[in-house]
Amino acid sequence: MNARKLLVTANSAMVITLVLFCAAAYLAWFKDQTLPLRMVAVMHMLQIVFAALFKLSYVLRLIAQSQLGLVLR
Protein backbone atom coordinates (compact mmCIF):
# COMPACT_ATOMS: atom_id res chain seq x y z
CA MET A 1 0.00 0.00 0.00
CA ASN A 2 1.19 3.47 -0.82
CA ALA A 3 2.48 5.30 2.26
CA ARG A 4 0.54 8.48 1.44
CA LYS A 5 -2.69 6.49 1.04
CA LEU A 6 -1.97 4.67 4.31
CA LEU A 7 -1.52 8.00 6.08
CA VAL A 8 -4.84 9.35 4.78
CA THR A 9 -6.62 6.10 5.66
CA ALA A 10 -5.12 6.00 9.16
CA ASN A 11 -6.04 9.64 9.81
CA SER A 12 -9.60 9.00 8.62
CA ALA A 13 -9.85 5.88 10.77
CA MET A 14 -8.68 7.85 13.80
CA VAL A 15 -11.39 10.46 13.29
CA ILE A 16 -14.10 7.86 12.70
CA THR A 17 -13.18 5.75 15.71
CA LEU A 18 -12.98 8.84 17.92
CA VAL A 19 -16.48 9.91 16.87
CA LEU A 20 -17.84 6.40 17.38
CA PHE A 21 -16.16 6.18 20.79
CA CYS A 22 -17.72 9.49 21.84
CA ALA A 23 -21.14 8.34 20.65
CA ALA A 24 -20.83 5.06 22.57
CA ALA A 25 -19.65 6.92 25.68
CA TYR A 26 -22.55 9.35 25.45
CA LEU A 27 -25.07 6.54 25.13
CA ALA A 28 -23.44 4.48 27.87
CA TRP A 29 -23.07 7.26 30.44
CA PHE A 30 -25.70 9.90 29.72
CA LYS A 31 -28.58 7.95 28.18
CA ASP A 32 -28.30 4.89 30.38
CA GLN A 33 -31.70 5.50 32.01
CA THR A 34 -33.54 5.46 28.68
CA LEU A 35 -31.78 2.44 27.13
CA PRO A 36 -32.23 -1.23 28.01
CA LEU A 37 -29.52 -2.64 30.26
CA ARG A 38 -28.26 -4.92 27.48
CA MET A 39 -27.74 -1.93 25.18
CA VAL A 40 -25.86 -0.04 27.90
CA ALA A 41 -23.60 -3.05 28.40
CA VAL A 42 -22.94 -3.22 24.65
CA MET A 43 -22.08 0.49 24.59
CA HIS A 44 -19.55 -0.03 27.39
CA MET A 45 -17.96 -2.92 25.46
CA LEU A 46 -17.88 -0.85 22.28
CA GLN A 47 -15.90 1.82 24.10
CA ILE A 48 -13.12 -0.73 24.59
CA VAL A 49 -13.30 -1.86 20.96
CA PHE A 50 -13.26 1.68 19.55
CA ALA A 51 -10.36 2.67 21.81
CA ALA A 52 -8.36 -0.31 20.55
CA LEU A 53 -9.16 0.53 16.92
CA PHE A 54 -8.12 4.14 17.54
CA LYS A 55 -4.76 2.95 18.89
CA LEU A 56 -4.30 0.64 15.91
CA SER A 57 -5.03 3.55 13.56
CA TYR A 58 -2.42 5.64 15.38
CA VAL A 59 0.20 2.91 14.93
CA LEU A 60 -0.61 2.73 11.21
CA ARG A 61 -0.25 6.52 11.07
CA LEU A 62 3.20 6.28 12.65
CA ILE A 63 4.21 3.60 10.14
CA ALA A 64 3.09 5.77 7.23
CA GLN A 65 4.90 8.81 8.62
CA SER A 66 8.06 6.75 9.03
CA GLN A 67 7.85 5.50 5.44
CA LEU A 68 7.37 9.05 4.18
CA GLY A 69 10.29 10.35 6.24
CA LEU A 70 8.08 12.69 8.27
CA VAL A 71 8.60 13.62 11.90
CA LEU A 72 6.90 11.09 14.18
CA ARG A 73 4.45 12.69 16.58
Kindly list the domain boundaries of the chain, sorted by start residue: 3-68
pLDDT value of residue 72? 84
pLDDT value of residue 28? 96
CA–CA separation, 14 and 3 (whole Å):
16
The yes-or-no verdict on residue 1 having pLDDT over 90 is no
How far CA 6 is from CA of 25, 54, 64, in Å, comes to 28, 15, 6
CA–CA separation, 49 and 52 (whole Å):
5
pLDDT value of residue 54? 98
Per-residue pLDDT band for 17 (boundaries 50, 70, 90) equals very high
pLDDT value of residue 73? 74
The rounded mean pLDDT for the chain is: 95
